[in-house]
Every structure is written in C-alpha cells, then in structure tokens.
Amino acid sequence: MKTSMTIRPMRREDLGRTLDWAAQEGWNPGLNDLESFWAADPGGYWLGEVDGQPVATLSTVRSGPGHGFVGLYIVAPAWRAKGLGWQLWQHGMAQMGARRLGLDGVVARQDDYRRSGFALAWHNARFEGLAPVGAHMPATVRPLSAWPWAQAMALDGWQHPAAPEHRQPYWRACLNQSASRALGVGSPMQLQGLGVLRPARQGWRIGPVLAEGPAQAEALLQGLLSLVPAGQRVQIDVPLSQPHAVALVRSMGWTQVFDTARMYRGGAIEGPPDSLYGIASLELG
C-alpha cells in the first residue's frame, strides 16, 4: 500500500531541522549555513510529511531563470524504501522546469541521477586535516573587505557555465556568514583570490576558495589556517579534476574523507573553472 505524503515549502525552522539531519548523515554543515542557504532562495526548500511528521527533504535552489542546484535530498531512516524520496524528487524537478540543474550526489547514486537526465561533469572530494602549529598570515592576505565588493563578485566566475547567474544574495551571505572570516589575496588595487573559514558542527570548514593561481590559493589557505587553533579539525571540498587544488591539500598531509559526483542536467559542463580550489557548499554549489 502506497504511503500518502504531503509536500509543502519549508519554513525557516524546517530548514534548520534539515541541516540537523544533514549533520546526522555525516555531512558536517556549517554552524550558520542556515543564513546563507535561506538567503539563496527562501522558496527553494521542500518538506515531505506523513500525518504531520517530517519524513523527507529536498532543496531546489533557483539562481535566476536559467540555473538551479539540487541538494539536501534526505529521507528519514525509518521511512526509507517506501518511495517517498522519489515522490519528493519528482515534485522538486517539476518546480525547476527547464533550468540547467547541478547537484553533488553520492557516487553510488549516479545511475539514479542519470535516469533523471543528469550527466557526470567531475568529482569532488572532501579532505580533512588538523590546523598546524605556527601557521601565520601572509603579507599579501588581508580581510576581504579591503577590496571592492564588485571584485569579490567577479571571482565567482560569472561567465563560466558552472557558475549560475543571479547568485549575489547567496554569494553575499556566504562571504559574510556569522562567525566566519573572509580573506582576500592580491595587490591593494586588484583582488586575486578569496577564501572563507566558518565554524562547522565538527571543527571548521574552508570554502569557497577562489584564486588566480596556486600561489594565491596557498597564501589564502595559510592565512585561513592561521585563524584556527592548532590541532583543531578542518575540512575543505575540492574538485578532483583541479590538480593544483588536490596537490595543495595533499601537501599539507590532509586525507580524503569521501567524494561526490558533480552532475548537471540541461547541458554539458566542461569542468570546474581553474580558479576553483575549494567549493562553497556541496548543497548549493
């Protein structure tokens, strides 16, 4: 007998509970990710309920008329294998229409996403390590606020097909999240990279990290790690097809925890931009 589920838009408190579920799945959300997620698209989160009980979640965050990103696809353990996730997935896909959609999915679920029209673009991996003793702030690294906001926006890679248009609300919230530290690298007149450190449910998360080259990325990571007490846990999500990013985290002795499949529906994606050294969020891209 088919279980009857009601689907409705999430309220802010529902999204907070969903991030708790994400933490239980081992995804280690940032402590204040609710702020930036909600700013991205308050109408982009869906909750499935059975008799008023939350049982399934999905985010379909819109970035303007042409792009979107799918995430937070979770079914409560006691309600799995009942078709509820598929019901919610179909609802979410219907809301997104013909937009180009991206997602970071569990690698084992790639075939499921392919059946919904998604194709593999690249793999991301989460790396984890401990903040080192004696990390210092490089002279070229300063608070991101030292540069004009327009330069920070430009680094999001607006012209790259993997970077959706109209991301400014999310981007601003991401770079200014409570208790986070946003740093820039470059000359006084030209921003050449940026990176963000934020507290997470366990330890700290770094991301995004965008830089013109490996030297700028290394300076940013060194600066961000200098803000973390030595010995505390730090994580970063890195595109595996960006060799300089992978080499940089491996040179620090960090280990790979898990990987995800970045997939898109609605058009081919060549790969991550060369400037991408750390992903802002696996849930929103």
Mean pLDDT across the stretch 179-184?
Answer: 98
Determine, yes or no, domain membership for 116. Answer: no
CATH code: domain of residue 146? 3.40.630.90
CA distance 240 to 226: 25
**Helix-helix angle 243-251:214-225, to 10 degrees:** 40
Question: Where is the domain boundary, 72, 103, 134?
Answer: 103
CA dihedral 121, 264, 220, 128 (to 10 degrees): -70
Query: What's the total number of domains in the chain?
Result: 2
Determine, yes or no, domain membership for 54. Answer: yes
Contact, 227 vs 132, CB < 8 A?
Answer: no
Determine, yes or no, domain membership for 110. Answer: no
Burial class of 183 by CB neighbour count within 10 A (0 to 12, 13 to 18, 19+): buried
Question: Where is the domain boundary, 43, 70, 103?
Answer: 103
Question: Where is the domain boundary, 88, 103, 118?
Answer: 103
Mean pLDDT across the stretch 94-113?
Answer: 93
Which pLDDT band, with edges at 50, 70 and 90, does 159 fall under? very low
Mean pLDDT across the stretch 11-24?
Answer: 98
Of 262, 219, 245, residue with least CA distance to 120 = 262
Give the β-pairing of 204-211 and 233-239: parallel
CATH code: domain of residue 99? 3.40.630.30
For residues 66 and 139, membership in a common domain is answered with no
Mean pLDDT across the stretch 128-144?
Answer: 96
For residues 30 and 134, membership in a common domain is answered with no
**Helix-helix angle 33-40:168-175, to 10 degrees:** 170
Quote the tokens at residue 190.
Answer: 């030209």
For residues 172 and 272, membership in a common domain is answered with yes
Quote the tokens at residue 225.
Answer: 């790690």
pLDDT above 90: percentage of residues in the chain: 85
The three state secondary structure string of the chain is CCCCCEEEECCHHHHHHHHHHHHHCCCCCECCHHHHHHHHCCCCEEEEEECCEEEEEEEEEEECCCEEEEEEEEECHHHCCCCHHHHHHHHHHHHHCCCEEEEEEEHHHHHHHHHCCCEEEEEEEEEEEECCCCCCCCCCEEEHHHCCHHHHHHCCCCCCCCCCCCCHHHHHHHHCCCCCEEEEEECCCCEEEEEEEEEECCCEEEEEEEECCHHHHHHHHHHHHCCCCCCCEEEEEEECCCHHHHHHHHHCCCEEEEEEEEEEECCCCCCCCCCEEECCCCCCC
Query: 160: domain range?
Result: 126-278
Q: Note the pLDDT tens digit of each residue in 187-218.
A: 999 999 999 999 999 999 999 999 999 999 99
CA dihedral for 93, 96, 99, 104, sign (positive or negative): negative
Compute the mean pLDDT over every residue in the chain, rounded to the nearest whole number: 93
Q: Note the pLDDT tens digit of each residue in 210-237.
A: 999 999 999 999 999 999 999 999 999 9
For residues 19 and 56, membership in a common domain is answered with yes
Place of tokens 């002795």: 253
Determine, yes or no, domain membership for 113. Answer: no
Q: Note the pLDDT tens digit of each residue in 38-82.
A: 999 999 999 999 999 999 999 999 988 888 999 999 999 999 999
pTM: 0.94
For residues 89 and 131, membership in a common domain is answered with no
For residues 140 and 253, membership in a common domain is answered with yes
Residues 6+ apart with CB under 8 A from 11: none
Q: What is the pLDDT of residue 2?
A: 72
